[in-house]
Chains A and B, each alone.
Chain A
Amino acid sequence: MCLMPSIGRDDVARLADLARIQLTDEEIDRFAGEFDSIMDAVASVSEVATEDVPATSHPIAMTNVFREDVVENTLTQEQALAGAPDAQDGRFAVPQILGEE
């Protein structure tokens, strides 16, 4: 079983950045204090996950579920935009994508 490094403040901040979640300093402290014990509790899975055991990604085995390639009813443009925080000319309006540089 491999020993996992402990998860510190910097790690939590980096994960939050990857997950696009703005955290307060207090939240970073709190999560950093919790994650080691949670990961320790779940790390036992590697005790029995030996090489000869195949992985299961899905509870009921299924392969290649297809349907006929025909047009079906979908949302109208109006329905699709109905819950949008901002819309313009029948499209989603989003903030500027790139920074100002």
Chain B
Amino acid sequence: MTPPMNDIIRRSAAAQAAALNAGEVSSEELTRAHLDRISAVDGDLNAFLHVDQDAALATARDIDSRRADGEELHALAGVPIAVKDVVVTEGQPTTAGSKILEGWIPPYDATLVTALREAGLPILGKTNMDEFAMGSSTETSAYGPTRNPWDRDRIPGGSGGGSAAAVGSYEAPLAIGTDTGGSIRQPGAVTGTVGVKPTYGSVSRYGLIAMASSLDQAGPVTRTVEDSALLHELIAGHDPHDSTSLTDPVGSFAAAARSKDVKGLRVGVIEELEGEGFAPEVSARFTESLEQLERAGAEIVRVSCPNFRYALGAYYLIMPSEASSNLAKFDGMRFGLRVIPEDHPTAENVMKATRGAGFGDEVKRRILLGTYALSAGYFDAYYGSAQKVRTLVQRDFAAAFEQVDVLASPTSPTVAFRLGEKVDDPMAMYMNDIATIPANLAGTPGISIPSGLAEDGLPAGIQFLAPARADERLYRVGGALEALLEDSWGGPLLAKAPELTSGAK
């Protein structure tokens, strides 16, 4: 007997894949169930900017018929996925949350999208995000904010709030995110979901609309650690189209996630990322999580990373500097919006009018700050100094990883704040990324998993960081802690989220 679809879409991606393999459900049914869920709740959530029902169902039917023919398929074949709208998809609109790309249909697929298509994952659509991934709340999207499934008046985090809200509300079992300063991990923390920023270069950046090329990294957004591991294995690997792509073999992430063994694992608590600025209940859930690990045989050690206090400053110099250069290509000449001013429509004036009309406030703010930081006379003091801080942050990580196997901190200093609460205060918004930014500066991997309910009954996250190329350790500790916490909660944290009873599109 077929179980109700409402039940199947709440299972993990791994369990949905098992149901497909067992013939319990077809990919077409599974994909349609997720499309139905999107229709039922996304009018409220606004997690999706574009839903491609026909393409998703066509992929699903193709996988069903290949499975019926006995073809050997990828473990996740037929399990639907949502893709952040900063990743280009051939034939499907890609806006990066900006008016300047409204209606643009990319002529090629990102390498990670090619991997998804080859593995036969139906792509449900493209998820909402802060414009060009610039933000921590999804409020800078030109297409309206995404709402948090736990409380529709709260932010879902950002920039990847759409991907996190989609998996958190059972609209999709899997999603792709990108993380430049925390855009996968912080939305995970505030929506009670799992997100991984892989080692820089683990997943190809080819086809990601770049914000800051030396910081950007795509990764998995899921409800379980094992699902992140499976998705990471699928999208990782060397890509000759990305010169910064690592040539290392892809690790056994899923096996690490399933091992559930932390005996002897040394976990370092970063002294600079606790106390002041971190909400009391967020900190309490963090401490309880560490106690769980300790009881399971891990060793908890305190470590100091003194230069992390300069990381936020370095990040808000390097990121706008790189963004000001990367976003120069949006000039109204070859693709995207073109605005022709009435007076003197020279190429230069068309560019200015196009960028003035096409970019939102935060994008303009960062381009101008980057232009300033790179300008003659200030370059050494700002960009040059920030690059030196980057070295110091890397040295802090190196020293810490001589003492411990992984580092830990709360992912985000607070639970989800209210929509509009920080939108007029750029520095307050930037502080959300205080714990996540060091990993981007150093290229090291990080995972956020739910640590429990904190202030106002809303989810908080715990973050683990590992040395570059040691992503496996994140899955090992993340999978183990997830199992320990779910035992103590009597099930996944998301089961405590309120039912979404309205919000049809």
**Contact between chains at B381 and A22 (CB < 8 Å):** no
- Is B503 interfacial (CB-CB < 8 Å)? no
Contacts of A88 in B (CB 8 A): none
Whether A15 pairs with B371 at a CB distance below 8 angstroms is yes
Q: List 5 A-B contacts (CB under 8 A).
A: A53-B392, A56-B390, A65-B243, A83-B335, A98-B346
Whether B386 is near chain A, meaning CB under 8 Å from some CB there, is yes
Given known A54-B388, A56-B387, A99-B344, contact A44–B313 (CB-CB < 8 A): yes
How distant is the Cα of A4 from the Cα of B313 in the complex, in angstroms? 15
**Is B351 engaged at the interface, CB distance under 8 Å to the other chain?**
yes
Q: Are B368 and A21 in contact (CB under 8 A)?
A: yes
Is the beta-carbon distance between B336 and A83 smaller than 8 angstroms? yes
Tell me whether B352 is interfacial, beta carbon within 8 Å: yes
Shortest distance from the beta carbon of A59 to any chain B beta carbon, whole Å: 3
A42 contacts B392, CB within 8 Å?
no
Using A19-B367, A22-B355 as known contacts, say yes or no to A38 and B316 having CB atoms under 8 A apart: yes
Query: Would A21 and B316 be within 8 Å (CB), given that A16-B368, A49-B388 are in contact?
Result: no
Query: Among B17-25, B103-111, B281-289, which stretch is in contact with chain A?
Result: B103-111
Q: Could you say which of B336, B372, B390 contacts A85, with CB atoms under 8 Å apart? A: B336
> At the interface, yes or no: A71 with Cβ under 8 Å from chain B?
no
What 1/0 flags go to B283-311 for Cβ under 8 Å of A?
00000000000000000000000010110
Say if the beta carbon of B75 comes within 8 Å of chain A: no
Q: How far is the CA of A34 from the CA of B391 in the complex (A)?
A: 29
Q: Does B382 contact A (CB under 8 A)?
A: yes
Q: Interface residues, chain B, CB within 8 Å of chain A? A: 104-108, 199-201, 214-215, 240, 243-244, 246, 307, 309-310, 312-314, 316-317, 324, 328, 331-338, 340, 344-353, 355-357, 359, 361, 364-365, 367-369, 371-372, 375, 378, 381-382, 384-392, 394, 426-427, 430, 440-444, 468
Residue from the list A18, A22, A85 in contact with B337, Cβ < 8 A: A85
The reply to whether A86 and B243 form a contact with Cβ atoms under 8 Å apart is: no
Residues of chain B with a CB closer than 8 A to A48's CB: 307, 310, 388-389, 392
Total residues of chain A contacting the partner, CB 8 A: 59
* Cα(A62)–Cα(B443), bound, Å: 13
Main secondary structure of the interface of A (DSSP, over half): loop
Name the residue of chain B whose CB is nearest to the CB of A64.
B243
List 7 A-B pairs, minimum CB-CB distance, nearest first.
A59-B443, A22-B356, A49-B385, A85-B338, A83-B335, A55-B387, A49-B388
Query: Do A82 and B107 touch across chains, with their CB atoms under 8 A apart?
Result: yes
Question: Are B214's CB and A83's CB within 8 A?
Answer: no
Considering the complex, which residues of chain A in the window 1-59 have a beta carbon less than 8 Å from any beta carbon of chain B?
2, 4, 7, 11-12, 15-24, 27, 31, 34-35, 37-39, 41-50, 53-59
How far is A98 from B340 in the complex, measured between Cα atoms in Å?
15
- The complex places the Cα of A47 from the Cα of B381 at a distance, in Å, of 10
- CB distance B347 to A49 under 8 Å? no
Contacts known (A47-B310, A95-B346, A95-B350); A86 close to B368, Cβ less than 8 A:
no
Q: Are A20 and B351 in contact (CB under 8 A)?
A: yes
**Contact present for B368 and A19 (CB under 8 Å):** yes
**In the complex with contacts A83-B334, A85-B332, A55-B367 CB distance below 8 A:** no
The residue among B312, B313, B359, B444 with the most chain A CB atoms within 10 A of its own CB is: B313
- Closest chain-B Cβ to A53's Cβ sits at a distance in Å of 4
Q: Chain B at the A interface: mostly helix, strand, loop or mixed?
A: helix
State whether A31 and B356 are in contact (beta carbons under 8 Å apart), knowing that A45-B386, A83-B334 are contacts in the complex.
Answer: no
In the complex the two chains form, what is the Cα distance from A59 to B40 in whole Å? 43
Most B Cβ at <10 Å: residue of A31, A43, A82, A85 = A85
Pairwise interchain contact B364-A38, C-beta atoms closer than 8 A: no
**Residues in A whose Cβ lies below 8 Å from that of B385:** 45-46, 49
Contact A92 B334 (CB under 8 A): yes
A83 touches B324 (CB 8 A): no
Enumerate chain B residues within 8 angstroms of A37, measured Cβ to Cβ: 427
State in angstroms the CA–CA spacing of A62 and B332 once bound together.
34
Which A residues are in CB contact (< 8 Å) with B468? 59-60
Closest Cβ of chain B to A21, distance in Å, is 5
B369–A38 touching, CB < 8 Å: yes
Name the A residues within 8 Å of B375 (CB-CB): 15, 18
Q: How far is the CB of B205 from chain A (nearest CB, A)?
A: 12
Using known A-B contacts A19-B324, A21-B356, A21-B359, determine if residue A49 contacts B389 with beta carbons closer than 8 Å.
Answer: yes
